[in-house]
Structures are given as C-alpha cells and as structure tokens.
A and B are shown apart, each in its own frame.
Chain A
Amino acid sequence: MSKRIASLALAMGLGLVGAGLGATTASAQATLANVKQKGFLQCGANTGLAGFGVPDAQGNWSGFDVDYCRAIAAAIFGDPTKVRFTPLAAKDRFTALQSGEVDVLIRNTTVTMSRDTTLGLDFPAVNYYDGQGFMVRKKLGVASAKELNGASICTQQGTTTELNLADYFRGNNLKYEVVAFATSDETFKAYDTGRCDAFTTDASGLYSERLRASAPDDHIVLPEIISKEPLGPGVRQGDPQWADLVRWTHNALLIAEEFGVTKANVDQMVKSDNPEIKRLLGAEGSYGESIGLTKDWAVRMVKGVGNYGEIFERNIGEGSRLKIKRGLNALWNKGGIQFAAPIR
C-alpha cells in the first residue's frame, strides 16, 4: 500500500513538474499521428442540420461543416472520403471532443471565451460569421422580436442560444417562457406542433430548420439579430500542430477562393506564376511540411471539396435550398469579413 501511495505521489509530483514546464499529455499532442495511423478522421458533426451537416438515407454526409471535415481528410490523406462522422447533440459535443471521441468538432459551434478557456479546447478558425435570430408563425402578426413579450420560445439546450435568449429578454425587460430540448429534432417538432410562439437559433440554423416545417411559407424570420455567433471548428487544447493544421485548412480554402483556384482548375493553377498561388499549391516553399503534411496539401483539398466559395455555394448559397447570401462571409475584398492570413 505505502509503495502504491509513494508511486502515486511520485507520479503526481512528476505530473505537477510536467505541468509546470508547460508540457502536456501525450494523448493530446499526437492527434495528427493518431489520425494518420487510424487511416481516417473522426469528425464531430450535427445530428442533422440541412446544409451544414446531415446524413442522407444511405448515411452519406453532406453540408458546409461536413465539407470542412472532408477538406481536412483530403489534406491529410488526399481522399475526402476518409472521414467518419459522429453525430453530436449540442449539449454533448464538448464532452465528446474532450474525451477524444472525435478528433475535431465541426458543428456550427460558437467561439466564446469560456469555451476557449475553461473546457480545455481551442478554436483555431471561424468558418462562418453568424448571429442569433427568431422565427415565428406569420399569422401571429409579429414584426419584431421586441413584440415577443410573454411569448413561449423553443430552443435547444447546451447552446449559446439559450444564454443570449435570457440576456435579450432581461435586457429589454420582456417576459418569456423557455422550453428547452436536447436535440434539434425535438425542438423543432415542438415549435411546429404549436408548443411555442417562436423558435430561436443562429440565423443559419433558422434558414435550415425552416425547410423542415410542415409549411415553410407559414413562418417568417424576424429582423433582429441579437448576438454575435462566430462559428468554427474546435480541437483539444495542447496540440498546437493539430490546431495549426485546422487553422491553415481554413485559411487555404479562403486564399484559394481569393485567387480563383477552383476544383476545376487547380491542376492548371499549379503551374501559375503568381507567387501567392505558388506558395498555396506547394510549387514554392515547404508550407505543407510545416504542418506535418506534404507540399501539395492544398491541391488535395481544393481537388476534393473546392475552395471556400465553392463549399459555401454548393451547400448553403443562393443556388442551394437554403439560399443564404454571402453577407459577412464574403471575402474581405468583396464586402465581407472573411480575411485569411497569408501563406508565406
């Protein structure tokens, strides 16, 4: 027994010393090596949010966030299909990431200070700038969120949505009744059945959920956006290499759009004289190696899923069922705020 305690104390002491030196656990550090060894990326996804992350009847996943998972898989393996998806309800997602059940969480997750600092997680990029909105039935005759005094509101638990809702109604001195559900299915069904006057989530989620309504045209989205929701991929804290890889995946997809590198022309673009394109596609420098991949990592990505603009258009853009305008998510030189740090 005393031996055991002694070894425990020793281990604890070593652990403390380790922590003091800024070292982290081995398991957290080796995500890329682990993914390479498994041969696929385990990606935390939505349980089902059309346009962002949803499986079809055959279990094939598609969506904006799903394509980010595929882009990372393509960068690592040269094959966008080497991904397995774990559907996660909002309230379960961080535990799944912390415990190592998934390698990366790409599931319309808002970056907040507490999530970044107390959950042992990092959020290396923002792939969609969003804000929270409300949807109501047209026949209620409500034109503004300020008119929702006394309303009953359906929302999903374990989200920033729940918190913004409380802030907004308290701040505007309005009363409301909240009904919170664990999954988006349950939440929306309750709203659609008439349990609530309003349904609230990120504006992107509203576009998507409205498609599920028994009569989508009976519902309107109110003009107020009550919060800032920078949505982005999350990783475990303490594995800077993996965080870098995820961050630069996003930057590379943006840079590809900025310089007109598309799924269709990426092979010709490799021969381009533009130094920015050369660095992006690995014709110059060894940027791929610096994140543990090969030179042509970005070529593989764009070939697999296209650039940021293509991913947006295909899944949620004006040509898709969701018909979302680029808005804030346009490139910085096109009126938006998507601004990638340069590869150099």
Chain B
Amino acid sequence: MSTIARAPEPAKASLVNDPKVRGLVYQAVLVVVVVGLVWAAATNAVENLRAAKIASGFAFLNSTSGFDIGQTLIPYSATSTYGRAFLVGLLNTLLVAAIGVVLATLLGFVLGVARLSSNWIVARVATVYVEVVRNLPLLLQLLFWYIAVLRSLPEPRASVNPGLGVFLNNRGLFVPKPIVEGHAWIVFAAVVIGIVASIAYATAASRKQTRTGEQSPVLLVALGLVIGVPALLWIVLAVVAGNPIDFDMPIKGTFNLRGGLQIFPELVALTLGLVIYTAAFIAEIVRAGILAVSKGQTEAAHALGLRSGPTLRLVVIPQAMRVIIPPLTSQYLNLTKNSSLAVVIGYPDLVQVFMGTVLNQTGQAIECVAITMAVYLTVSIATASLMNAYNSRMALIER
C-alpha cells in the first residue's frame, strides 16, 4: 500500500495500471460471473424439474420418513422426519470417523516406528503389512472384514459370554448399558473435575521438572483423581442413597439378546477396515517424518545419556511432527470420506441413509446430493483447520 502511494507516477495514470485496482476489478468480475452461473444453473434446474414434474425444494426434510434405521445414536423411528434420518446418518458418519481417526493414528505411529526398528523381524513385519494393506482396494478389504467378522462369530443362541454381562455373537457385541438417574450426576461431575484437576497437576509437574529436574507420579495421581475419587463417591452414594448408576443388562431373547448396549458388526467391520487401511498410509508418513529428522539429533540425545525410548519420544517425534502433520491431515480427510463405502456393508452412514433411501423415496436427487456434499465439505474443512491450528502450535514450540 504505502509503496504505491509513494510511487513517482501521477495518480491519474496509475489507476488503470494500479495492480491493486486491477486485482479488485478482476475479482469483482469473477464473483459476478460465478454468482451468475450458479444462479442460472439453479433456475435452470428448478425449471427442468418442474417441466419433468419432479418435486423440488427442501420441504421434504419435514415429511415422515417411513423407514427404520438399524444403528441410531439419537432417538429415531419410522415416524420421524427425513431431516431426522439425515441427522442419524450424519452422526453415524461422525462416529466412525472419530473412532477411525484415533485408532488409525495409534496403529499408524506404532507401525511407522516399527518399520525403522533395528529388530529385523519387527521391521519386516511392518513393511509387509504396509505393502499388502495399501495395495489392496479398500472396498475389497471392507467386504473381507465384514464377512470375516460375521463368519467368525457364533449365532445368537451360541453367544460367547465372558462374564460381566458381556455377550458376543454375529449380531454384535452386547455390553451392559449404564442408566443414569438420581444422584448419578455427582459421579459424572467427579469424573469431569478429576480430569480437569489431573491436567492442572500434570502441567504443574512438568513445570516443576523443568525447574528442579524432579519427577512427580503424574499417572498415579491422575488415575486416583479420574477413577478413584468418583468410584469412592459411587460406593458412598450406593450405601447412603441406593445405587446411583444402574445397568441395563443384555438378556437372552427368542432370537437375540435383549437390552444392553449393542455394538453392531457393521460398525466393527467398517472401523476395522478403515483403521487397518489408513494406518498403512500413516505409517509411511510417520516413517518419512522420522527420517527427516537428522541423525545428529539422535546422536546428541544419546550422548546426553537418553535411552532409545525417551530419545524417540522427547527428541525425534516432536521434530518429526512438523513434517508429519500436513500429510496426516489429508489421511484424516481420506478416512472420513472413505467411510462412505459403508454402503456395501450395510452400515447406515450419511451416504447410505441419505443418498440411498431418502433420495430414492423423495426422488430429490439434486437436493440430497447438494446437502451431502456440503456436509463432507464442512467436516473436511473443520478437520483441516483444527490440524492447521495444531500444526502452527507445534511449529512455534519448535523454533
């Protein structure tokens, strides 16, 4: 700005040549063209749909859906609306993406480090895993896991019961479902307070360590705060005011178990497939990241007397993270988008529910596709921004 203002040419002549003014004009023209095109396409579509006597608009989201969905995280029935069905699908997608991202990251890091292990067998096993898994189409892997999961589990009447009200069969994993009522909130509040207190304690402990070199029993204290105290409260409450948390136990029914919390085989197979596949790519990213940290860093750490574990944890990985995070982000996005392959194994994700049944019943292809695209775009952008924020934090700490 200021350099242009101080430029020697007279102001009048510069307006046409002024790169800033030109840029603005180009952008304005582009915006007008894009808006015009979108508008033209939209009106054209509406017109064509009307001519073909196909319903259009978003009013269908308020109509009754009429169909049931197997796995619903929020209350839903055939009398709910299409809009509600959309939410059910969306939550199912987010669920599998969230679990998938966490597990794939853990497995990917382990494998990536293993590939660089000096232990020949460990390194070879990791290499074979990566090469096999990332070279087979994900679709095939999902079908394989689904059938493998189903085939290896017993029928409901022969459920595996390892005790504690846990059952396993080819309809899924059944665990006792906690019913929260009465004084239960006290226990939950204690857990939350415990987590907050543990974080505060850990921060103080690390500060103390930097200052004095003294280490504190962080893990022990955290366990006590998060699990010990609430458990104690629970027992006290149970004695004083009756059991605060009841469990809905799975019991055997005619066909299957009734009650309890059911984890469907479709969710297990989809998560398994996505995690195993994505972890192979994350492993490669981690390996590349670690290799990018110069060997001198490791040698220096060793020279200071750090053993291999702490060297990796305290010196190598933090530096490697800078290289790892950007490609890791795109793996997270891939995992989320790949979860739409759920369709082939009957997991009711957003695409299966909304682009499948809802689109078929309402016939409103344009609306359904547009909404679905907007959702994936939003989720992807949100994930990417989070990771970018994390990345800039890591980068700052580094320098």
Contact = CB atoms under 8 A, between A and B. Distances in A.
Contacts of A4: 36, 40
Given A25-B48, A180-B357, A167 B363 contact: no
B162 interface: no
Contacts of B150: 190, 193-195
A162 interface: yes
B313 interface: no
Contacts of B54: 98, 118-120
A11 B360 CA distance: 30
Contacts of A189: 147
Grouping DSSP codes into helix (H, G, I), strand (E, B) and loop, the A interface class, with mixed when no group exceeds half, is helix
A206 interface: no
A328 interface: no
B307 interface: no
How extensive is the interface on chain A, given as a class?
Answer: 35 or more
A58 interface: no
Interface in A1-34: 1, 4-5, 8, 11-12, 15, 18-19, 24-25, 28
Contact of A157 (B49, B51, B357, B362): B357
Interface in A145-192: 147-152, 154, 157-158, 162-163, 165-167, 169-170, 176-182, 186-187, 189-190
B67 interface: yes
A279 interface: no
B184 to A, nearest CB: 27
Interface string B348-363: 1000100011011111
Interface in B152-208: 155, 170-171
Q: Which of B50, B151, B343 has the most CB of A within 10 A?
A: B343
B170 A162 contact: no
A165 B356 contact: no
Contacts of A178: 67-70
A237 B360 contact: no
Interface residues of B, number: 48
Contacts of A180: 67, 69-70, 346, 348, 352, 356-357
B327 interface: no
Interface stretch (B229-237, B253-261, B275-283, B316-324): B253-261
| In the A-B complex, the 7 residue pairs with the closest CB atoms | A158-B360, A166-B78, A120-B54, A119-B363, A120-B52, A91-B360, A118-B55
A162 B365 contact: no
A117 B348 CA distance: 28
Contacts of B53: 120, 237-238
Nearest to A9: B43
Contacts of B348: 180
A95 B359 contact: yes
B358 to A, nearest CB: 9
Interface of B: 32, 36, 40, 43, 47-55, 66-70, 77-79, 147, 150-151, 155, 170-171, 253-256, 258, 265-266, 343-346, 348, 352, 356-357, 359-363, 365
Contacts of B266: 179
7 contacts: A28-B52, A157-B360, A158-B359, A162-B67, A177-B70, A179-B266, A238-B53
A118 B47 CA distance: 15
B357 A195 contact: no
Given A15-B47, A119-B363, A193-B150, 19 more contacts: A5-B36, A25-B51, A91-B360, A95-B365, A119-B55, A151-B254, A152-B171, A152-B256, A157-B352, A162-B68, A165-B67, A167-B78, A176-B68, A180-B352, A181-B344, A181-B345, A193-B147, A195-B170, A237-B52
A338 B265 CA distance: 45
Given A177-B171, A193-B151, A194-B150, A150 B258 contact: yes
A94 B363 CA distance: 7
Interface in A85-123: 90-92, 94-95, 98, 114-115, 118-120
